[in-house]
Amino acid sequence: MSTAFDSTLGVDVIGGYVTAILYGIFCLQCHIFFHGFGREGQLLKSSVVLLWILNTFHLILIVHFNYWYMVTNFGNIFVLQQHHPWSTPLFFLITPTTNLLVKSWFVHRVWILSGKNLLLTACLACGVIVSWAFGLAFSIELFVLPTFASYSKENWMFYTEFTVETLTDLAISASLCLFLLRQRKQTAFKQTFSIINILLIYTVNTGLLTSILCLISIITRILQPDNFYFFATYMILSGLYSNALLGSLNARDWFRQEPALIAIPLSNLTHGSSQQSRNAVSSAALNLDACAVHEQRSTQDPIHVEVDVIKAEL
């Protein structure tokens, strides 16, 4: 283990700052989720509360880690070669648990959008569980391994966890994009088309960002095994995944809140005679807030067409 603080504790401090920023954004998103909308089921609300608890504990562990090395052991240049603090293995336990919770909801979305495709959903769920299992096994081993230098004995667990996690992230993002593209082809409404484009961009960006960060963790661990570069990227993942889920939930609720009512005047349409023109339907409304397409027609009331393409996409 290197004793150069720039590439060890210095990198860790930067990762801690980024994690704290992500935690602040996550808390804001939790506030928006519970106070801005609040129409979700108890299971989803409980999951968000659990995510907040995990992220809070995650940040506390990082603070303890930094305090132990930089304050308690201040001036001890050999501290990195000695036994690591108790917060280290717990930190490696919190991150895969958070990822498991977040990805479970994304897999559930794939299940809904795919029309309950059991094979696809089962494959994605297996990838999520396998990644979590290797992360759990790695964190348990850290309770036994005394120093950072001894971590190299279990590198294969770390590499397997992040390889599976990267592939699963890409598979989930690709699946969501595929089903959103199918939805886009089936819609004839310009505003719905634009909404789906926004969802596609968000899905691709979040999936690529988490996958790239996982790859960076693997590469830095291989190229710089004696430094904390992999540690810094690893600590950011928990906040990144949590914000990805809360951001999508809040965006979905925003779309639900906006009915996007569009009035199309039809009073000028002619149907062969002036009498028929006067009795024609006067207007049409497109409401993007329902689950199916409904039409109600009469000679006095307007036409109501309800279309939902965003209820489950996010």
Work out the percent of the chain whose per-residue pLDDT is above 70. Answer: 72
Distances (CA, A) of 5 to 67, 70, 78, 229: 14, 10, 11, 12
What is the residue extent of each domain of the chain? 9-257, 262-306
In the structure, what pLDDT confidence band is assigned to residue 189 with cuts at 50, 70 and 90?
low
Mean per-residue pLDDT, 290-312: 41
Indicate if the pLDDT at residue 30 is higher than 90. yes
pLDDT tens, position by position, 61-101 = 999 998 988 888 887 777 777 778 888 889 899 999 999 99
**Residue 123 burial by Cβ neighbours in a 10 Å radius (0-12, 13-18, 19+):** middle
Element (H, E) at 264: strand 262-265
Q: Which amino acid is present at 32?
A: I
Beta bridge partners of 283: 265
Nearest to 58 by CA among 223, 262, 238: 238
Mean per-residue pLDDT, 263-287: 42
Q: What is the average pLDDT value for the chain, to the nearest integer? A: 77
Work out the percent of the chain whose per-residue pLDDT is above 90. Answer: 32
What's the confidence (pLDDT) of residue 95? 92
- Token readout for 217 is 């963790």
Question: How many other C-beta atoms can be found within 10 angstroms of the C-beta atom of residue 74?
Answer: 8
Residues of 179-210 as b/e, b for ≥16 C-beta within 10 angstroms?
bbeebbeeeeeeebeebbeebbebbeebbeeb
Question: How many other C-beta atoms can be found within 10 angstroms of the C-beta atom of residue 140?
Answer: 14
pLDDT tens, position by position, 93-138 = 999 999 999 999 999 989 998 888 999 999 999 999 999 999 999 9
In the structure, what pLDDT confidence band is assigned to residue 224 with cuts at 50, 70 and 90?
confident
Question: How many other C-beta atoms can be found within 10 angstroms of the C-beta atom of residue 301?
Answer: 11
- Token readout for 287 is 């409401």
Q: Is 286 helix (H, G, I), strand (E, B) or coil?
A: strand
| Distance of alpha carbon 75 from alpha carbon 63, whole angstroms | 18
Q: Can you name the CATH fold of 9-257?
A: Rhopdopsin 7-helix transmembrane proteins (1.20.1070)
Task: Provide the angle, in degrees to the nearest 10, between the axes of the packed helices 155-186 and 87-113.
Answer: 30
